Amino acid sequence: MTATVLVVDDDAAIRTVIARALDRAGHDVVAAGSLAEMRRALDRGLPDVLVTDVVLPDGNGLDAVASFVRDHPRLPVIVLSAQNTLTTAVRATEVGAYDYLPKPFDLDALMRAVAGALAREGGVPVAPLGEEDAALPLIGRSPAMQDVYRVIARVVSNDLTVLVSGESGTGKELVARAIHDLGPRRHAPFVAINMAAIPRELIESELFGHERGAFTGAQARAAGRFEQAAGGTLFLDEIGDMPMEAQTRLLRVLQSGEFTTVGGGRTIRADVRIVAATNRDLTRAVADGRFREDLFYRLNVVPITLPALRERRQDVALLARHFLDRAAEAGLPRKQLDAAAVALLEAHDWPGNVRELENITRRMAVLSRDRVIGAAEVRATLGGGSPDEVASADIGIEAAVDAFVDRLAREAPDALTNGTLYDRVIAEVERPLIRRMLARNGNNQLRTARALGINRNTLRKRLDTLGIDLDPDDEARPSGPGDR
């Protein structure tokens, strides 16, 4: 079908490239280089599709799109933008754009978007404009992150259940928070619960709450996370670690939309948006019978897979600078990275992903004596181990434990009185430590145990108790003479 497409971009080369491709596809093209030209073109006649850039010489294309979509809700708009941030993706969706393509864009993708826009039926519902430009929670402009932003933008204004997967430290919780903060539930609580950090026998009462006397030690009724998150978002972290019985119960709640408190029979409507996260391959857990298939499908309505940092090395410099800025805002001396330092950071494999980069950067902000951090400092910090560095790591752990206890006090005040605190804090520290050392030692248990200074059986027991799964393929891999 021949259509008229209005293309708005101040870059003449881009206009020409798009016009040629549209022409080849048999469409008529009207081109405009500014908002004023766009308005004049619209006055002459409405196109079938509008393709527009965001930053134009005489104003913001998105604002123009917002009023255009209000007046012509059935006309599809495709937004192109070089400001490849989550905010732009979300705002493009909010103003009612049919699609959003980050620049540099793939011409085929644009042609597919135009074809899709022409083929669709009915108009796009126009969502209200956000009252303020949200802060940028997620840093990264790589294509892999752009894909993530596009999915986030599509889910912020509805209640679909989202399953975020990705290695530890890739930003799964940050994605969950962004979905909450950018959507209509943002004025209600965001409540997180980490399945791996809670003793198995307490998970159901933590989730659904309990009545007085429901079990030994339950001296008063307590609201569970579902109740605390009412009207808001419930983030179920490390969902793969959820025990089977709790999985069955959660599934029932998701199906019926209500839950019952432990030991009480009080039934409460579950008014929460669920975002779950996992750093394991849940399909494998399903195949192994460790995770309910029906629950998996209930949670995996919208999957978001976060790339490992090593799969988006082009974001490393951006992230490192962001963390240095944050350190400076927190009162540490302002530091910069020289080119060799950036190159080394980009070449590193980042088994701990963005969290590791954040810690390394903060450590360098504290330790480096010069204003400009060079390759030698990066090498020393990545290698780790000098007494200075160990001392600074101690400060980090102290702050982390403080933050963890503060969070518990806010989110699960019971935990400070019900005798579980010691186990929770130790698990919180032990789990990342063991995971980190396993990753460093190629999942070899003997080497990991040696590195940790514990015996192998103790390590096995801890893996079991903490619910840390070893990839069986990795375990089977021979890892050097004398290691096994």
Ligand X SMILES: Nc1ncnc2c1ncn2[C@@H]1O[C@H](COP(=O)(O)OP(=O)(O)OP(=O)(O)O)[C@@H](O)[C@H]1O
User: Interior CA angle at 185 toward 182 and 191, to 5°?
Assistant: 95
C-beta of 257 vs 303, nearer to ligand X: 303
DSSP string spanning 292-355?
Answer: -HHHHHHHTTEEEEPPPGGG-GGGHHHHHHHHHHHHHHTTSPP-EE-HHHHHHHHHS--TTHHH
And the tokens for 165? 């997967």
Question: Is residue 138 part of the contact set for ligand X (CB under 6 A)?
Answer: yes
Report the residue number, 5 or 164, with the smaller CB distance to ligand X.
164
**Least gap, CB of 277 to ligand X (angstroms):** 6
Contact between 446 and ligand X (CB under 6 A)? no
- The least CB distance from residue 139 to ligand X, in Å, is 4
354 binds ligand X (CB under 6 A): yes
CB of 433 to ligand X, least distance (A): 12
Indicate the residue among 62 and 319 with the shorter CB distance to ligand X: 319
Tell me the window of 2-10, 29-37, 338-346, 350-358 that interacts with ligand X (CB under 6 A). 350-358
Range in contact with ligand X (rule: CB under 6 A) among 11-19, 136-144, 202-210, 460-468: 136-144
Tokens of 476: 């089977």
Helices and strands in the chain, H and E counts = 21, 16
| Residue 482 zone, left/alpha/beta (φ > 0; ψ -120 to 50; rest) | left
Whole-angstrom CA distances from 288 to 238, 281, 293, 317, 435 are 17, 11, 10, 39, 21
Report the distance separating Cα 227 and Cα 222, nearest Å: 10
338-363 exposure pattern, b = at least 16 Cβ within 10 A, e = fewer: eeebbebbbebebbbbbbbbbbbbbb
Task: Report how many residues bind ligand X under the rule CB under 6 A.
Answer: 18
Range in contact with ligand X (rule: CB under 6 A) among 134-142, 150-158, 282-290, 398-406: 134-142
Task: Looking at residues 11 to 50 of the shown chain, list those that interact with ligand X (rule: CB under 6 A).
Answer: none
The two structure tokens encoding residue 144: 């892999």
The nearer residue to ligand X, 66 or 192, going by C-beta atoms, is 192
Q: Is 261 helix (H, G, I), strand (E, B) or coil?
A: coil
Q: How far is the CB of 131 from ligand X (least distance, A)?
A: 24
**Nearer CB in complex with ligand X: 123/143:** 143
Q: Tell which positions 147-186 bind ligand X, by CB under 6 A.
A: 166, 168-174
What would the two tokens of residue 322 be?
């962001």
Q: Which of residues 226-245 bind ligand X (CB under 6 A)?
A: 237
The nearest distance, CB 179 to ligand X, in angstroms, is 12
The single residue among 77, 80, 92, 139 that binds ligand X, judged by CB under 6 A, is 139
Per CB under 6 A, 76 contacts ligand X: no
Nearer to ligand X, 296 or 323 (CB): 323
Please report the sign of the dihedral spanned by the C-alpha atoms of residue 388, residue 389, residue 393, residue 396: positive
SS3 at position 274: strand
- Contact 65/93 with Cβ under 8 angstroms? no
Closest CB to ligand X among residues 94, 237: 237
Binding site for ligand X (CB under 6 A): 138-140, 166, 168-174, 237, 277, 279, 319, 354-355, 358
